[in-house]
Amino acid sequence: MWSFVLPMVLMVAIFYFLLIRPQQRKGKEHRALLDNLKRGDRVLTAGGLVGEITSMTEQMVTLEVADKVRVEVARPYITGFAPKKTG
């Protein structure tokens, strides 16, 4: 019986440390990013848009991508901060 149980336990441990745990950590970091967003931040979306946050609600964020061009994006689709504009 141990010849069956031990390999199964090892496989579960390997899956946990190589797949599940890093994914949980990444999810936690993304939630922290979304919680710390504020007006004026320059962000990058999953679709590749870069813009400055002009307003926010619980579910949506309004980004200004060019002068007087605003786009509404669902909050979960914000992937990170973008570098500040130069010039």
SS3 category, 38: coil
Are 43 and 77 found together in one domain?
yes
As given in the structure block, the two tokens for residue 79 are 């992937």
Are 14 and 42 found together in one domain?
no
The beta strands (E) that lie in 2-86 are given as: 42-45, 50-56, 60-66, 69-74, 78-81
Are 22 and 56 found together in one domain?
no
Beta bridge partners of 71: 63
Are 30 and 48 found together in one domain?
no
Distance CA 63, CA 43 (A): 8
Is the confidence at residue 7, as pLDDT, over 80? yes
Are 87 and 53 found together in one domain?
yes
Domains held by the chain: number: 2
Are 66 and 85 found together in one domain?
yes
Domain extent for 48: 38-87
Give the pLDDT confidence of 11-51 residue by residue, as tens digits.
999 999 999 999 999 999 999 999 999 999 999 999 999 99
**What's the pTM?**
0.76
Q: Tally the residues of the chain.
A: 87
Are 51 and 80 found together in one domain?
yes
